[in-house]
Chains A and B, each alone.
Chain A
Amino acid sequence: GENVEQHPSTLSVQEGDSAVIKCTYSDSASNYFPWYKQELGKRPQLIIDIRSNVGEKKDQRIAVTLNKTAKHFSLHITETQPEDSAVYFCAASTNQFYFGTGTSLTVIP
């Protein structure tokens, strides 16, 4: 089955700086790659997603890039704010979803 690895496990940045989280996947058949944000005690919520026929997608301060050849994709958050502090999960999907282990992002005011 699919194996998704996510790095780093924890990340601290100063407010206003950028944050980058990276994921790799193993199954070349995976073709949908969502990112979820989970605040403490709350449900995961989709923040951005990308399909395998697209190399990059941007939504305001959030962007995702995909390298199908290398089987890796990354989340970029610019101009970070304290409310960006949460755990972020990447996932890869063929017919089912396989999640990474999560990155705990702390934005220091």
Chain B
Amino acid sequence: DAGVTQSPTHLIKTRGQHVTLRCSPISGHKSVSWYQQVLGQGPQFIFQYYEKEERGRGNFPDRFSARQFPNYSSELNVNALLLGDSALYLCASSFSGAREKLFFGSGTQLSVL
């Protein structure tokens, strides 16, 4: 059984550019959430989606957006990249998303130069 998969694994962008990160949840899981993990810190909640609807949004600027597709995969988009957006972006899936075990992907390491 495949786990949560994320692509790409690494990405280098320059300031002002746009980036799209992708996530495929575990089969049968309907909820996907996104986290930003800066080196030495815990994951910070960005978005949660369930059945293609946004269920929650963390304290991130409008440059961050996301969506979930009918097959439950998800994309995280970040516009107008800043140096401070450099981080590991983690995707996690769960069956329904609320108060249950999260399964994390290996993440996308984004470097903004």
How many B residues touch the partner, as a band?
20 to 34
- Residue interface bits B36-57, CB-to-A below 8 A is 1, else 0: 0000111111001000000110
Report how many residues on chain A are interfacial, defined by Cβ distance under 8 Å.
Answer: 26
Q: Is the CB of B102 within 8 A of A34?
A: yes
Majority secondary structure of chain A interface residues (helix, strand, loop or mixed): strand
Q: Which B residues touch A6, using CB under 8 A?
A: 42
Q: Is A31 an interface residue (CB 8 A)?
A: yes
Total A-B pairs, Cβ < 8 A: 61
Q: Measured between C-beta atoms, what is the minimum distance from B6 to chain A in Å?
A: 9
A93 to B100, CA, bound (A): 9
Q: Is A73 an interface residue (CB 8 A)?
A: no
Q: Which A residues touch B40, using CB under 8 A?
A: 101-102
Q: Which of B43, B44, B58, B100 interacts with A32 by CB under 8 Å?
A: B100
Q: Using A32-B100, A43-B107, A49-B101 as known contacts, say yes or no to A89 and B33 having CB atoms under 8 A apart.
A: no
Q: Is B105 an interface residue (CB 8 A)?
A: yes
Q: Using A89-B42, A98-B45 as known contacts, say yes or no to A46 and B58 having CB atoms under 8 A apart.
A: no
Q: Measured between C-beta atoms, what is the minimum distance from B10 to chain A in Å?
A: 12
Q: Measured between C-beta atoms, what is the minimum distance from B35 to chain A in Å?
A: 8
A45 to B105, CA, bound (A): 10
**B contact residues vs A (CB 8 Å cutoff):** 4, 33, 35, 40-45, 48, 55-56, 58-59, 90, 92, 97-107
